[in-house]
Amino acid sequence: MRIATPGRLRRTRQHLYLHVAVGWSIIFGIHPVGGLSGRIVRTSHPSTHEKSNIDRRQCFISAATTVFSIVATTQSRAAVASETSTTEDYVTTSPSNQLPSFLRNYTKLGPLGKKQTFADKTTGLSMSDLARRLTHDLTEGSTGKGGYFLTGDLSTDIFRDDCIFEDPTNRVASLSQYQKALTVLFDPSRSSIEIIQPLVVNESDCTISGRLRSRGYLQLPWNPYISSYEITIRYTVDPETGLIARQDQTWTKSASQALQETFTPTWVDPPPKSGRGPKFDEPQAVSKLFQMLNGRRPSEYSSEERQAIDALIAQIAEGTTTNASSTTASPLTGTWVLAYLQPGPDGAGIDRRIPFPDFKFNDNYQLFDLSETSSGMVTNVGQLFGPLANVQVYGSIREANPQESSLPRRRYEANIQGGKLCFSRTFQPPTNCWIDLPMIQGQGLFDSLYAGDRLRIGQNLNGGGARVVQLRL
């Protein structure tokens, strides 16, 4: 049973907003960057069974509060500012996806135990040695369990026990509580953290800073997926001891997106992943693009990732990359999954020829057969609500300019002749396709800008000009 102190039960507007803001913090607090702690007064000690389950139960209960938080966070700034004489925090407040500094002391998830101390400390390390240790902890973990944002496996000997961990919604001054919080947030086996800008040492102000990228699944009952976002991190070192005294972060993820992702159940299958390895002549840009896209859906990329991906697509499509595999007899033949979408000039998406809405968790496939024994067939498979149902649109396909087949860019014309509504997780061969959709007809024209052994780039010509990147399964 949880009870609060009398002071926290006062129904003033200020304290009401502070209480609701706790729920708002969960939106970001369940990310690997959240620094969390808690203080709960209990009437009795929890049993051993309670201790083993209380963290996840507290996550579940606290998350319900966030339904009110999107309004409360905005209102609390104006309300608290009008009821207090101190406005300094509002002068320094970051953009709207961050809580004011003083509120971050109240946005704590609990219980995470009492503050503890770690006996062994490694003092007097140089800034460059600290940067190397931190780089290892961020990517591999102190003991090899995985990056500490996902596992909590950090080197406690290089942090002060009262180190301050602050991000846009949370602030905690306890190394032990922060470490424990990290162990119950992300599922390390299904999440990732990477350094996108190496840690840089600034000797003059005793700081170490860099940029990270993270994504993955949260350890909550509804299994939410947090899409990719970037983190700017800065460590401040105590000049007297050489231990890290502060860890500060800013994020590129907005509050509204975090709220949506946190409360979106993930019941669908993981994104399809190609198991094909590179051929010896695969261009470097193609290999890099494949690594960035494989095992991901088109909705999962951050704005910074999209800039890098778009640059690679332009490099490959505009002919600066040799299309070594484009001269094969049937470069399209096979099963391809959509991994990335670059909207057309007017914002148009893919032309699925499927008269149903497309959700972010759906997968889209194309099956081509342009072998010498086939007259040329294409099947578009679009999921309707994850793997439970799909629409299969089929027709014929031919190369529009076969006399120019030696060129990297090839043009194809598809003649769509109908479709079926299917209720099956598999589509090879089609099963449980009970409803015919004869109204789905028409012609499609697209360019194959690049077609390698495991990656292709196409551009729709009569559906808005969108470019797609597909991976061969």
- The two structure tokens encoding residue 303: 């704005």
pLDDT tops 50 at residue 11: no
Establish if 118 belongs to a structural domain: yes
Place of tokens 């170490």: 208
Shared domain for 248 and 288, answered yes or no, is no
- The two structure tokens encoding residue 423: 């209720």
Establish if 279 belongs to a structural domain: no
The model's pLDDT over 228-263, given as tens digits with 9 standing for 90+, comes to 889 999 999 999 999 999 999 988 887 667 767 878
Banded pLDDT at 388 (limits 50, 70, 90): confident
pLDDT tops 90 at residue 161: yes
Establish if 277 belongs to a structural domain: no
Establish if 373 belongs to a structural domain: yes
Give the total number of structural domains in the chain: 2
Shared domain for 122 and 1, answered yes or no, is yes
- The two structure tokens encoding residue 172: 């905690």
Shared domain for 442 and 298, answered yes or no, is yes
As to burial, measured by CB atoms within 10 angstroms (0-12 exposed, 13-18 middle, 19+ buried), residue 467 is buried
Shared domain for 298 and 252, answered yes or no, is no
Place of tokens 């968790």: 361
d(CA 182, CA 166) in angstroms, rounded, equals 14
Shared domain for 456 and 332, answered yes or no, is yes
Would you list the DSSP string of 14-30? HHHHHHHHHHHHHHHHT
| Beta-carbon count within 10 A of 266 CB | 17
The model's pLDDT over 302-319, given as tens digits with 9 standing for 90+, comes to 888 999 999 999 999 887
Question: Which of 30-39, 52-61, 233-242, 351-360 is predicted with the least confidence, judged by mean pLDDT?
Answer: 30-39
| Higher pLDDT among residues 141 and 376, named by residue | 141
Shared domain for 224 and 339, answered yes or no, is no
Q: Which helix (H) or strand (E) holds 245?
A: strand 244-251
- CATH number, domain of 403, equals 2.40.128
Domain ranges, residue 23: 1-267
In degrees and rounded to multiples of 5, residue 215 shows phi and psi of -165, 160
Chain CA centroid to CA 202, Å:
30
Question: Which of 40-49, 320-329, 406-415, 463-472 is predicted with the least confidence, judged by mean pLDDT?
Answer: 40-49
Question: Which of 13-17, 194-198, 289-293 is predicted with the least confidence, judged by mean pLDDT?
Answer: 13-17
Contact 287, 237 (CB under 8 A): no
Establish if 275 belongs to a structural domain: no
Establish if 82 belongs to a structural domain: yes
Chain CA centroid to CA 366, Å:
25
Establish if 446 belongs to a structural domain: yes
| DSSP-derived secondary structure letter, 387 | B
| Higher pLDDT among residues 145 and 32, named by residue | 145
Contact 171, 164 (CB under 8 A): yes
Shared domain for 224 and 343, answered yes or no, is no
Shared domain for 31 and 142, answered yes or no, is yes
Shared domain for 289 and 200, answered yes or no, is no
Establish if 272 belongs to a structural domain: no
Where do runs of H (alpha helix) occur along 242-383? 255-262, 284-293, 303-317
d(CA 430, CA 119) in angstroms, rounded, equals 63
The model's pLDDT over 274-306, given as tens digits with 9 standing for 90+, comes to 999 999 989 999 999 999 999 999 988 888 899
Shared domain for 261 and 306, answered yes or no, is no
Shared domain for 116 and 52, answered yes or no, is yes
Q: What is the pTM of this model?
A: 0.68
> 387: cis peptide before it, omega within 30°?
no
Shared domain for 200 and 308, answered yes or no, is no
- Which of 214, 144, 156 is closest to 186 using CA atoms? 214
